Structure 1
Amino acid sequence: MKTTLKINYIAAAMAICLVSAGCVKNFVEINTNPNNSNTASPQSLIGPLLLSTLNNTLTRNFRINNELMQVTVTTADSREFHRYEIRPAESEYMWRNWYLALTNVRDIYTSAAAGQQPGYQTYQGISLILDAWISSLLTDMFGDVPYFDSNKGRDFIITAKFDAQPAIYADLFQKLDSANQLLKLGALPETDDVRALDPIYNTDPNLWRRFGNSLYLRLLLRVAHKEELDAIDKIKEMIDINPGEYPLFRSNADNAILLYTGQQPYITAFHTARDFDFNGDKGYAEFFINNLLTLNDPRLPILATQATLGVYSGMQSGYPRGSVPQRESTLHAPMKSNSRLGGNMMNYGELQLLLAEAALKGYIDKDPTAYYRNGVYAGVEFWDAEIDDTYFDNPAANFAEADTDNEKLKMIHFQKYLTLLFTDFQQWYEYRRTGALDLYRGPGLENNGQMPSRLNYPIIVQSLNKANYDAAVAAMGGDSINEKVWWQRQ
């Protein structure tokens, strides 16, 4: 009887832990033999963690983000994202995968701290940056989430409370500040084969530091309109007052991107898919194609097929039920193996456009036009295309002195929209923050024509962590897809 009860307890704990706030895969072994440590070396966790997380977000970028943000439109009439309809079951996939990733991220920090080897502070810094990256994805998707007590299955905290988004953001900023100082201490005394276990930066602390600070700016700008965290003061410190203490990306060579090699294990989530499975039930949206045509943008032929000879055209987003339009331009089938597809965490083009917005709004004492142009050049270069200054003769790209700040902000954000292609949910997050894209409004929009503001909490969390779920919903004001997260509220 005692054995049965113990097994049932562990099984129940496993189930709750998985869906409530970040379980560990070897939960039973760890919790039945506390004297046996299964902690992996920090360097061995980085590659698998990045590959899994990026591929998981890529599949949902295609499924959800691209449909909401009118990059693509599905021909599957029952898939309603482009109509602003999101079914509750959609929440579970990213919730589960992001929390599982956080277990490994925090194990990197713990293992590095316990290793007591010279230079292991580099792995602690990397862990803090990855923690801020994944945790920001979670809170920007859902709002208040388990954070401070999440991923503590080893301590039998299996129904973690939900934390308020301002407190989460404040802690993310502390982690990025700490990472900046840890990585400042210098390189690891590692061999080439050990450094190569990091597929992003080859364990270069200086490049990780540049990524951490660039990510810091992304998150600071996201909450700059909220007074609680003094984000504008921090942005000014990083750019105007003490830039030497906060190195940033210098070019596309510094991008935080996993460049897929096409060889195992570094292949995209779609690498082995049939062409139809990759591209057969979707086409590019009118908004995407029409804006690139207006700009005469050289990325268009790289990203899209011609609908008919010499003609690019897109599908209507938000079409009515039962009226599926004909596919027009599509993704090139070979893109499923493109080294840049889905491996982008953050790039130089995005950073420059963040700085352009900060300068335009007066947060920093810099020229927004120079940042804007740098961002456009970098975004085009990212896809191995080229432009020259004549690109900016086009009124849609000009950023002229006579343009209003609102017109300039829209130009910044459309170019950022392009730099964020196939990058988790950043296009959607940025649109929710600014509304600075003139997305088309299809005749079949549901949800009262309102862009969803978040995903609802997973259904299974609602049942297995009910007390904390109820408290979170009360604090948020509801659990609908239209409930605005903290930084969306004015």
Structure 2
Amino acid sequence: MKTIKALRIPLLAMMVLWLSACQELTDINKNPNSPENVSSNYVLTYSLVNSGKLVFGLGKNSSKIAAAMQYMQAGTNEGAAETNQYAWGQENWASYYDILRNVQIIYDNGVRDDNKLFQGIALTMKSMLFGLLTDLYGDIPYSEALKASTGSFFPKYDSQADVYKGILTDLKKANELMQNLTAKDVVSATSDVMYKGDAAKWKKFANSLRLRYALRLADKKAEMAALGINLETEFKEAAAGAFTSKADDATLAFLGTNSDNAQPGGPLASATFNWLTKPAKPLVDKLLQLKDPRLQRWANPVRRKWDANVTQATTKTVTNLFGETYSVVYVPSVASSADTNLYVGLPVGLPITQGIVYNKGNDVSVYPNEQNPYISFIHDRYRKNTDPYVAMNFMNYPEVEFILAEAALLGGFGATDAEGHYKKAVQASMDKEGALTATGFNFETYYAQPGVSYASAGNKQERILEQKWISSWFSIQSWFDWRRTGYPALKTGPVAQFGAALPIRYMYPTPNLDPKYIANYNEAVSRLASTNFIPAGQSKDHHYAKMWLVQGTSKPW
């Protein structure tokens, strides 16, 4: 017995030590960087910056939408066919859902901490990102998305109508949450890299997004009403609290201090300058026709200009309306087909062999790849690390005024004074680009032109949408506007892969091979409407299939 007692004492001590060690290991294994513990301030910075890069890339770097909306054309390299001929493939949405998972952390932490500002910001960002997804693809994983922690690994694809309902509901809730904040409802100014913790600006952003989506659903009022959403009420409520000046813009600047925060076209992020992107002829010609100073913000003059007034090649210094100087060689014009403008856009959808020599005339010189000097390049600012006129833009004041103008024209949204809002929108767009102070420019003279003024327009909706298209340079919103209205009336080039029509949606990512995932994917594809532009035998998961938003309409074609 003594022996047994003697053994019990050290055994008991060992058990106490073991239990104590287990408790210490449990404490040690609590990861301070895990989602349940990470500060929402850190997550907010990540979510904003990566959302900004995503939106910027959609409009400029991916080239697809920018080419479809004829802001630019690719040159002659291997990517030109996909861009200029609309030979689009499947598009991955993993980056969207990665950001959305982080936005969900912000919201959950906001609920846990009873921080209404964080909740409102999260709902606003969530709505913007899900809005992008459904605008691009159609039906998407929504109500069952972001729930892997509860075992939901194969979310259904919600109908587009239900997604829009959820977006408008969340934006309304965000507005309500941010109406009555208290001292504890704060966000770090350094973490909120867009609004510096200014709740009033976040509230305006939420309401401006409500305007965007209420108008986007203009042809679906009855269907949304059946779901309990009154678009006129949504619009009127949101209009009272939307952007009122450029100080409200939801934009992020590129800092340009390292490759992560520099503009993608700058030397920090790109090993070589991208000469591939050329301004497209439809936009350049329209801006030339209107004597629009924004052209000189967005494009460079040609390096060699055909000119009937010189008898030999002559180098001249050209100064644009903003005081920027360029060296241009004026060359005697020998062909009536030569484009003699100082700014020359690349025509839409040319075969590669024609794109190489466009406007080159009888010049037999060999120039570096993609550097035909008789075509303009996009402005040098897009090859810098940072520039005040290049930003990651979620939404801006001119868009709000264009929305109000079109809503007033259409009626049924409670908005009035279409012309007043239209004129404010055009002027605000000029102001955004710093064009109001261009040498010799007078806005009233510009606005009075028959091609600009509201009163002189035969089709006033087309007039509003044309100026909105110009204002949306390198933005994806013009694609969604065109799809809804058919304006501006853009035409395809001679080598468009699927005929005389522009694409209208992104194709879904390649489905996971799990049977549940494939079943959900197939159900979503079955709800798409086929069109005459989809070749026989191809899936309806196609960039020429009609999503619910434009089904039952004659738009855009």
TM bucket (normalised to shorter chain) is 0.7 to 0.9
Structure-2 change in CA distance of 1:280 and 1:408 (3 Å): same
Matches within 5 A, 1:335-414: 335=382, 336=384, 337-363=386-412, 364-386=414-436, 387-400=442-455, 402-404=456-458, 407-414=459-466
Coordinate RMSD, CA, aligned: 2.7
Computing the radius of gyration over CA atoms, which structure comes out larger, 1 or 2?
2
SS at structure 2 position matched to 1:366: coil
Q: 1:151 aligns with which of 131, 135, 146?
A: 146
Structure-2 change in CA distance of 1:47 and 1:311 (3 Å): same
Structure-2 change in CA distance of 1:87 and 1:238 (3 Å): closer
Within 1, Cα distance between the matches of 2:238 and 2:132? 26
Contact 2:85–2:496 (CA under 8 A) maintained in structure 1: yes
Q: Does 2:383 align with 1:329?
A: no
- Taking only the aligned residue pairs, the percentage that are identical comes to 27
SS at structure 2 position matched to 1:198: coil
TM-score (normalizing by structure 2): 0.75
State the match for 1:88 in structure 2. Answer: 89
Contact 2:300–2:380 (CA under 8 A) maintained in structure 1: no
State the match for 2:323 in structure 1. Answer: none
Within 2, Cα distance between the matches of 1:125 and 1:251? 21
Q: Does 2:492 align with 1:438?
A: no
1:244-294 deviation line (CA, Å, top 9, x unaligned): 8x4110100110111223335643233335778453112110011011111
State the match for 1:418 in structure 2. Answer: 470
Q: 1:57 aligns with which of 55, 58, 64?
A: 55
Within 1, Cα distance between the matches of 2:433 and 2:346? 23
- Name the amino acid aligned to 1:390: T
Structure-2 change in CA distance of 1:111 and 1:68 (3 Å): same
Contact 2:76–2:352 (CA under 8 A) maintained in structure 1: no
Unaligned segments of structure 1, at least 5 residues: 1-31
Q: CA deviation at 1:457?
A: 0.9
Contact 1:144–1:163 (CA under 8 A) maintained in structure 2: yes
1:350-407 deviation line (CA, Å, top 9, x unaligned): 000011000111233411110000000111111111042111121110111x533xx2
State the match for 1:203 in structure 2. Answer: 197
Q: Which has the higher contact order (CA 8 A, sep 6+)?
A: 1
SS at structure 1 position matched to 2:73: strand
Structure-2 change in CA distance of 1:234 and 1:375 (3 Å): farther
SS at structure 2 position matched to 1:445: coil
Contact 1:259–1:340 (CA under 8 A) maintained in structure 2: no
Within 1, Cα distance between the matches of 2:182 and 2:116? 9
Within 2, Cα distance between the matches of 1:444 and 1:274? 32
State the match for 1:41 in structure 2. Answer: 39
Within 1, Cα distance between the matches of 2:40 and 2:269? 36
- Name the amino acid aligned to 1:161: K
Within 2, Cα distance between the matches of 1:34 and 1:155? 20
Matches within 5 A, 1:176-191: 176-186=171-181, 189=184
Within 2, Cα distance between the matches of 1:276 and 1:284? 22
Within 1, Cα distance between the matches of 2:392 and 2:33? 35
Q: 1:283 aligns with which of 263, 274, 278?
A: 278
Task: Select the structure that is richer in helix.
Answer: 1
SS at structure 2 position matched to 1:476: coil
Contact 1:122–1:187 (CA under 8 A) maintained in structure 2: no
Structure-2 change in CA distance of 1:237 and 1:459 (3 Å): closer
Point out the more displaced range, 311-320 or 361-370: 361-370
State the match for 2:96 in structure 1. Answer: 98
Q: CA deviation at 1:461?
A: 3.8
State the match for 1:319 in structure 2. Answer: 350
State the match for 2:324 in structure 1. Answer: none
Contact 2:402–2:422 (CA under 8 A) maintained in structure 1: yes
Matches within 5 A, 1:135-146: 135-146=130-141
Q: 1:237 aligns with which of 233, 236, 259?
A: 233
SS at structure 1 position matched to 2:424: helix
- Name the amino acid aligned to 1:354: I
Within 2, Cα distance between the matches of 1:282 and 1:273? 19
Within 2, Cα distance between the matches of 1:471 and 1:61? 30
Unaligned segments of structure 2, at least 5 residues: 1-28, 306-327, 329-340, 359-371, 437-441, 530-539
SS at structure 2 position matched to 1:289: helix
Within 2, Cα distance between the matches of 1:434 and 1:258? 29
Structure-2 change in CA distance of 1:104 and 1:445 (3 Å): same
1:37-88 deviation line (CA, Å, top 9, x unaligned): 5332222212221211221332332221111111111113543344443332
Structure-2 change in CA distance of 1:277 and 1:215 (3 Å): farther
Contact 1:257–1:344 (CA under 8 A) maintained in structure 2: yes
State the match for 2:334 in structure 1. Answer: none
Contact 1:140–1:485 (CA under 8 A) maintained in structure 2: no
Where does structure 1 differ by over 6 angstroms across 4 or more consecutive aligned residues? Answer: 32-36
SS at structure 2 position matched to 1:454: coil
Within 1, Cα distance between the matches of 2:134 and 2:186? 37
TM-score (normalizing by structure 1): 0.84
Contact 2:207–2:238 (CA under 8 A) maintained in structure 1: no
- Name the amino acid aligned to 2:101: T
Within 2, Cα distance between the matches of 1:207 and 1:131? 17
Q: 2:207 aligns with which of 210, 213, 220?
A: 213
Q: Does 2:296 align with 1:296?
A: no
- Name the amino acid aligned to 2:451: A
Within 2, Cα distance between the matches of 1:78 and 1:55? 24
- Name the amino acid aligned to 2:89: P
State the match for 1:260 in structure 2. Answer: 254
State the match for 1:172 in structure 2. Answer: 167
Q: 1:112 aligns with which of 110, 125, 142?
A: 110
State the match for 1:74 in structure 2. Answer: 74
Q: CA deviation at 1:140?
A: 0.8
Within 2, Cα distance between the matches of 1:46 and 1:169? 24
Structure-2 change in CA distance of 1:463 and 1:329 (3 Å): farther
State the match for 2:480 in structure 1. Answer: 429
Point out the more displaced range, 206-215 or 36-45: 36-45
Task: Select the structure that is richer in strand.
Answer: 2
Within 1, Cα distance between the matches of 2:468 and 2:397? 11
